[in-house]
Structures are given as structure tokens and as C-alpha cells.
Structure 1
Amino acid sequence: MKLGLRLPQRLGTDLKQDLVEAARTAEAAGYDSLWTYERLLFPNTPAEPYAGTNVAWPEHSRQAADPLAVLTAAAVATEHVRLGTSVLVAALHTPVQLAKALATIDQISGGRMVAGMSTGWSTDELQATGATRADRGRFLDETLDVFDAVWGPDPVTFRGPRVVIDDAWVLPKPVSRIPVLLGGGGSNLGRSTTSAAVQRIAKRADGWLPLLTTPGPAGAAELRGNWDRIRELAAGYGRDASRMEMVVVGNVTFTDRPAGPDRSAFVGTLDQIMDDVATAAEADADELIVDLNLQDWFTSTQQMLETAVQIRERFQPDGGGFVG
């Protein structure tokens, strides 16, 4: 299993200094990839709680720097790591402009771009771009169709519900085909093989971006079982499921004392977090994204990076387990 790190975008980040430092530090420490997330705005009276939970929107999300601008800075500052979005909300973007932006970053980075996409969940963000919750699925489907069209050969002709391209050149093209991964929330996504989200992943995605929510062997078994079912569906559609990848997201929250037996995955002490890293590996994840952006524990990006380096040093990716 490989390790990725989400770059700092949150409130308090010095965008001029911290982004380049974080990207270079993570690559030097041995992280395999760098990721960004998307948060368009911070409503004072949101239409729903945060990210499908029952909690208020966290204060740090008042700022989430533009994910593609952040990845552009990281592309220039690094040489080898993959650069991914986890995730972009399709309905917040014009499909052709998004396809062009992703292809541009792929060219700047020498072919290292990974496009993680999702339908989104925030009513406040969707309505700010003229969309509704009812639009989410069809806007994502059309965006994926546009990617296929404009990343293919020129001239491009495409007709969709919103997008019309009539015999036009759309450049630049990606260095090679950009992998498109689809998010789907928690590790229980695969329980319903008839859901639109599961079918979309199986039919169209190069991989899945789930959250690991349950720690320990039960969490590994659940995630692995859901991933097996998604790949079985993909094979049923005539796809080569062995080429798909599961990139798990770990949203870290540190506690002063060990969290109790009812804790969620990636909540607890550093030792408990490392146990959850092991759980993701046991679930046959191809990669784990360590996200420290949500952590109010940190007072600076430097402090965040010190912990990120410590996590990477304790992880042995080639079957060597963990070191103390």
C-alpha cells in the first residue's frame, strides 16, 4: 500500500509559503501522492450539517483554497508524486473548463494528475453555482462524458444536456489518460449493488475513493468486501477490474488519550492512527490518503508536517509492518 498526503488548504494556511514547503517535504519524506479537497464556501446558517454527519461545519473550513490552484503549485514544486483531487464536486464546475484545467496540470506535472470526482452533498455550495441536489448525479455523468470527449482526439464534437461542442479543437490534451476515481462516502457504499453511485463506479471509474470509518478487522473486512463487489460488477460490464484501484481516505483527529472501543477509524492517539493505517492495508487498499486538514490539534503547517513525516517514517510499505 502506498501513502498519500492531503496538502494544507485550510484557514490559517500561508498559501505563499506553506504549499510549496508541504509539497516538497512530503515528497522528500517518501509520500507517493499529494491530494487536495474542495470546499467552495462556508455558510453561516447551512442547509444541512457537515458532510452527512450530525455536527456543525468546522471553523477551519471557512477557507479551503482552490484545489486546482494548489495542485498547480505542487506540480511545479515536485518531481515524482502523483497529484490528485479528493474530491472535486462535478456540479460546481463547467465540464469543458474543468477538463481543460485538469489536462493543463497533467501537462505541467509531466503526467501525474489523478481526478477524484463526486456528486457533492452541500445544498449551499450547489445553489451558489446554479445547481440543485437533484442535479448532482446527471451533472457528474455529463462531466465524465465530456472528459472522454475532450481528452480524446481533435476535432471534438459532443452534445449533452448542457454542453455542446461542434467540431472544435480542445487543447491541451493530457500526457496520457488521466485516471478518474469516484468518491462514494463511507465504507458501506458497496452494500447496495443497485445504487446509482455503485453502478457509476463499476461502469465508469478507474477506482474508488472510500472513507475508512470502522477500525480493526471488522473495518478491513467490510471495506474489502465492498471493493470486491464493486469489481465483480465492473467485470460484469466487461471491464478489466484488475486495473481499478481503491484509494482510501483517512480523516485524522488526534486525541490526548487513547480513544475508547467505540471510536471511529482515524480518531485517537498516534498509535491508534497507525493501527488504522494497518487496517487500510489489510483491506487491500492500493493507497491511503492521510488527511490532517481537519485536525484542530495543529497550530501551524510545520507542526502538521512534522506529524505527517512521523507517520510516513513509521509505515513500512513493502510488508515490513510498522516501526515504533
Structure 2
Amino acid sequence: MKLGLRLPQRLGVDLRHDLVETAKTAEAAGYASLWTYERLLFPETPAEPYAPPNVPWPETQRQAADPLAVLTAAAVATEQVRLGTSVLIAGLHTPVQLAKALATIDQISGGRLVAGMGAGWSSDEFRAAGTTRADRGRFLDETLDVFDAVWGQDPVSFRGPRVVIDNAAVLPKPVAKIPVMLGGGGSAKALQRIARRADGWLPFLSTPGPQGAARLRASWDRIREMACEYGRDTSQMEMVVVGNVTFTGRPAGPDRSPFVGTLEQIMDDIHTVAEAGADEVIVDLNLQDWFTSTRQMLETAVEIRARAAAL
């Protein structure tokens, strides 16, 4: 199983130097991909908690540098690794402009981009972008439709609820088809959208150990079964699991959350994800306070990569 690494975007990071160093070091260490996440703003009194029932927003996300700008810098600094978003929130973007930006990064990188998309959940972010949380699923569907249209042949004609393109050239085009992966999957409708439209799935591990592996594998099997029912070829579909790492000084108890604990427990979770049939896991160290020290973060990332190779 391959490993990806989340790039530095968080509060306290020296974007000018740390981003390029991280990208180059991760590629040299054998990481297969580099990923960004999206956080538009950080409300002081958010409308929704970060996670139910009342988990506060992580202070480290007070700054989340623009994911597309970060990926562009990583594209220039690397040669082979894939470059992905996990995830962009469709409703925070104008679909045509987003499609054009992604195609441009794909050209800069020589065809290494993966577009991870999601519906989103934060009312504060949707209001700031001039959209609404209630329409987030519709915005995602329309964005995917626009991708299909403008990444295809010119001239492009498209008519949707927000977007109208009348017989126009929309350039640049991607080097080849950009894989579009979808996050989420908590509802039957979300699983259906992944099966019908996506090239892959970006889930979280819900529970450590064999029980978590079984749940993840069952959902992935169901997605691919539905995809086959839609007449799709599932042989190229991927499951890339997101691991938000939080290290603890001593082993976490049996009721711990996935990717929380000692380095040994984190490696156990990576093994669990592999047992579930994942193609890749994204190692996200942004929650760690020491992520602001590039040297310390990269030493840990390189060690995780070396240990995973030995599994």
C-alpha cells in the first residue's frame, strides 16, 4: 500500500521555505503523493462544531493556506509524486474557474493531479462564499458536470443552474483525464454519488482494529458493487484513506480514535487500512504542534514511511 503526505498549510508554518522542503523530502523518501486540504476561514463562534457532538475546531486550522496555490508550488518542486486535494469544497468555488485552475495545475505538473472533492458542512464557510449549506449536494453535482464539460473537447456548451457556457473554448485542458475522487460517504446518497461519478473514495477509518477494517471494506465493496450496476469499470477506482495523526505520550486506551496514540499505534492503524483494501493512506501531521518545525515533522514522516515499507 502506498503512502501520501499532507503538505504544510497550518498556522505557524513558514510557507516560503517549509512547503518546498517538505515536497522534495517526501518525494525522496518514497511518498507516492502530496495532498492539501481546504479551510476557508476560522469562525470564533462557529455555527457547527468541528465534529459531533461538540468537538471544537482545531486551533491549528486558524490558518489553512490556499490549497491550489500550495499544490502549484509542490508541482514545481517535484517530478513524480501525485498531487491531490483532500478535499476541495465545491460550493466554495465557481465551477468554471475551479475547473480551469485544476487543469492549469495538471499541465504544470505534467499530468499528476488528483481532484478530491467534497460537499462540505460549515455554514460559516458557505455564507462567506455567497452560497448555502442546504444546496451543498447540488453544488457538488453541478461542479462535477462542469468538469466533464470543460475538460472535454472545445467548443464547450453547458447549461446548469448556475453555469451557462455557449459554444466557447475553455483552455487549458488537462494533460489527460484528471481523476476525481469524492470524500464523505456517511449517507446512502453520498455512497451512490461516489459509485456513479467518482474515480475513487477518500474516507476516514471509523474504528481501529479488525472491526474498523471490516466496516471500511464493506462500504468499499458496496460502492464498487453499485458502480458495476451503473455499468462502470471499477478496476481503476481507488480508495485513499485519510489519517489525521495525533501522537500521545503513552499508549491510548482501547476506546481511542483511529490515528491517535503512539507511533506503534499509528502504524497499527496503517496496517488496518491496508487490511481493508485501501490503495493508499494520507498521513496528515497538521494537528501536531511540532509540525511548525519542518525538520522534526519530516523526521517523523520519513520514519513512518520506512516503517510502512516494512509492513
TM range (shorter): over 0.9
| 1:54, distance to aligned residue in structure 2 (A) | 2.0
Residue 51 to residue 121, structure 1, CA distance change in 2 (3 Å): farther
Match of 1:248 among 215, 222, 241: 241
Is residue 250–residue 266 contact of structure 1 (8 Å, CA) maintained in 2? Answer: yes
Question: What letter is aligned with 1:206?
Answer: D
Instruction: Tell me whether 1:126 sits opposite 2:119 in the alignment.
Output: no
Distance between the aligned counterparts of 1:51 and 1:132, measured in 2? 19
Distance between the aligned counterparts of 2:201 and 2:167, measured in 1? 33
Q: Which runs of 5+ in 1 are unaligned?
A: none
Is residue 246–residue 287 contact of structure 2 (8 Å, CA) maintained in 1? Answer: yes
User: Which position in structure 2 is the counterpart of 1:303?
Assistant: 296
Residue 108 to residue 124, structure 1, CA distance change in 2 (3 Å): same
Instruction: Tell me whether 1:163 sits opposite 2:163 in the alignment.
Output: yes
User: Which position in structure 1 is the counterpart of 2:149?
Assistant: 149
Is residue 280–residue 288 contact of structure 1 (8 Å, CA) maintained in 2? Answer: yes
Alignment of 1:165-244 (within 5 A): 165-184=165-184, 189=186, 195-244=188-237
User: Which position in structure 2 is the counterpart of 1:312?
Assistant: 305
Residue 143 of structure 2: SS of its match in structure 1? helix
User: Which position in structure 2 is the counterpart of 1:93?
Assistant: 93
Instruction: Tell me whether 1:287 sits opposite 2:287 in the alignment.
Output: no
Question: What letter is aligned with 2:175?
Answer: V
User: Which position in structure 1 is the counterpart of 2:112?
Assistant: 112
**1:250-278 Cα distance to aligned partner (Å, 9 max, x none):** 01000000000000110000000000010
**1:172-216 Cα distance to aligned partner (Å, 9 max, x none):** 00000000000006xxx3xx5xx2211110100001000012111
| 1:299, distance to aligned residue in structure 2 (A) | 4.7
Q: Which runs of 5+ in 2 are unaligned?
A: none
Question: What letter is aligned with 2:65?
Answer: A
Distance between the aligned counterparts of 1:30 and 1:178, measured in 2? 23
**1:85-114 Cα distance to aligned partner (Å, 9 max, x none):** 000000000000000000000000000000
Distance between the aligned counterparts of 1:129 and 1:217, measured in 2? 41
**TM-score with structure 2 setting the length:** 0.98
Question: What letter is aligned with 1:50?
Answer: Y
Is residue 290–residue 296 contact of structure 2 (8 Å, CA) maintained in 1? Answer: no
User: Which position in structure 1 is the counterpart of 2:83?
Assistant: 83
Structure 1 residues 301-310 or 5-14, which shifts more? 301-310
Identity in percent: 80
Distance between the aligned counterparts of 1:65 and 1:196, measured in 2? 31
Distance between the aligned counterparts of 2:279 and 2:272, measured in 1? 12
Residue 250 of structure 1: SS of its match in structure 2? strand
Is residue 254–residue 297 contact of structure 1 (8 Å, CA) maintained in 2? Answer: no
User: Which position in structure 2 is the counterpart of 1:37?
Assistant: 37
Structure 1 residues 50-59 or 84-93, which shifts more? 50-59
Distance between the aligned counterparts of 2:210 and 2:199, measured in 1? 26
- CA RMSD, 1 decimal: 1.1
User: Which position in structure 2 is the counterpart of 1:69?
Assistant: 69
Is residue 212–residue 265 contact of structure 1 (8 Å, CA) maintained in 2? Answer: yes
| 1:302, distance to aligned residue in structure 2 (A) | 2.0
Distance between the aligned counterparts of 1:72 and 1:81, measured in 2? 13
| 1:242, distance to aligned residue in structure 2 (A) | 1.8
| 1:287, distance to aligned residue in structure 2 (A) | 0.6
Distance between the aligned counterparts of 1:36 and 1:53, measured in 2? 26
Is residue 258–residue 269 contact of structure 1 (8 Å, CA) maintained in 2? Answer: yes
